[in-house]
Amino acid sequence: MKIVILDAHTANPGDLSWDFLNKYGEVTVYDRTPTEALVIERAKGAEIVILNKTPITRFAVERLPEMKLIAVLATGYNIVDIAACTEHGVAVANVPGYSGASVAQQTFAFILEYANRVALHSASVLAGDWVKNPDFSYMLAPLAELEGKTMGLIGYGDIGRRVAKIAAAFGMKVLVHTAHPEKYPDAPVRFCALDEMLPQCDFISLHAPMTPATAGLVNKDFLSKLKPGAFLVNNARGQEIVEQDVADALNSGRLGGFGADVLSSEPPQADNPILTAKNVYLTPHIAWSPYEARVRLLRAVDENVGAFLAGTPKNIVNM
């Protein structure tokens, strides 16, 4: 049994081990596989291919006849041509739910940074401003309490529900827009249409999957309905916002701030308008990656591979 990991580095930059895979066969690990030609060269002859964000196209699938399982080191699997895999009998397994706590925590990292401006004030103090200040206290920007504010959530899956719970603990009112509110008859939130929700939100956070309906959801029209000065968080997918529209809303002051762990292309292009907009807080797609979450991720991949080889596959998204 030949097993190849095409892009090991982000999931395991060296603080974990791939040795758990040795019980299944011969394992070859590559930190990165940047081209399709290398994908085909390195995965040739492998029955199991493990990857995170390295694309597997139809062209590659058709040239890897020995491949039986693609184990994705993530919940999303849009980097794999699912139709081609299905046609060629290649199972694709993902890892749902491993990073829910981490992403919910990152959501509030953005919100609390905006509300309390910790980094701004810490940098000022460390630069010597407090030492030189005539007063015992000073503020460089307005601060805000979360209690009593309204949080709007788009999407109410595992992460959305976790964010709602944290928001409630801060004393926030929680409004939710989701495609299937009937699934949650006892939810301690209020479900409403976007047009009703947006004008009420002090904070709004995206937690919906990437679909044709959510692509470009946050656009000029969406932003025009949002409460002026609201803070927007995107830890879902970068393609769910129209970046130029968000940048324009930030620069005009219509949008009070924007925190995001994802952008439309990653790494971003240097001319991405979000990078130079006002009141932006960005992290490089790390919400999923605390140590504890990555331990769960690798454990789940172990289970996915083992179950597939035992003839009882789990988390298969295409069969």
pLDDT tens digits, one per residue of 169-200: 999 999 999 999 999 999 999 999 999 999 99
247 plus 142 within the same structural domain: yes
The domain spanning residue 92 has which CATH number? 3.40.50.720
118 plus 261 within the same structural domain: yes
Q: Are strands 230-234 and 2-5 parallel, antiparallel or unpaired?
A: unpaired
27 plus 104 within the same structural domain: no
243 plus 159 within the same structural domain: yes
Q: Is residue 62 flagged as an active site residue?
A: no
81 plus 173 within the same structural domain: no
The token duo for 234 is 């995107």
Residue 149 banded pLDDT, cuts 50, 70, 90: very high
Residue 122 banded pLDDT, cuts 50, 70, 90: very high
155 plus 277 within the same structural domain: yes
Contact 278, 249 (CB under 8 A): no
Catalytic residue among 237, 240, 243, 294: 237
The mean pLDDT of the chain is 97
Query: Is 111 contained in some domain?
Result: yes
CA 217 to chain CA centroid, nearest Å: 16
Query: Is 314 contained in some domain?
Result: no
Q: Is residue 177 flagged as an active site residue?
A: no
140 plus 196 within the same structural domain: yes
The percent of residues in the chain predicted with pLDDT above 90, rounded, is 98
Phi, psi of 221 (to 5 degrees): -65, -45
Catalytic residue among 36, 63, 285, 303: 285
Catalytic residue among 41, 62, 66, 266: 266
Query: Is 143 contained in some domain?
Result: yes
- HEC profile of 177-237: ECCCHHHCCCCCCEECCHHHHHHHCCEEEECCCCCCCCCCCECHHHHHHCCCCEEEEECCC
135 plus 184 within the same structural domain: yes
DSSP β-bridge partners for residue 255: 230
- DSSP 8-state class, residue 92: E
pLDDT for 100 equals 96
pLDDT (average), residues 78-105: 97
CA dihedral 113, 115, 119, 123 (to 10 degrees): 170
120 plus 235 within the same structural domain: yes
What letter represents residue 151's amino acid?
A: M
Q: Is residue 237 flagged as an active site residue?
A: yes
pLDDT for 319 equals 83
224 plus 120 within the same structural domain: yes
252 plus 188 within the same structural domain: yes
pLDDT (average), residues 10-28: 97
The percent of residues in the chain predicted with pLDDT above 70, rounded, is 100
What beta strand segments (E) does the chain contain?
A: 2-5, 26-29, 48-51, 69-72, 91-93, 150-154, 173-177, 190-191, 203-206, 230-234, 255-260, 280-282
pLDDT (average), residues 281-296: 97
pTM, two decimals, is 0.92
Q: What is the pLDDT of residues 266-280, one digit of tens each?
A: 999 999 999 999 999
Sign, CA dihedral 205-207-210-212, equals negative
116 plus 92 within the same structural domain: no
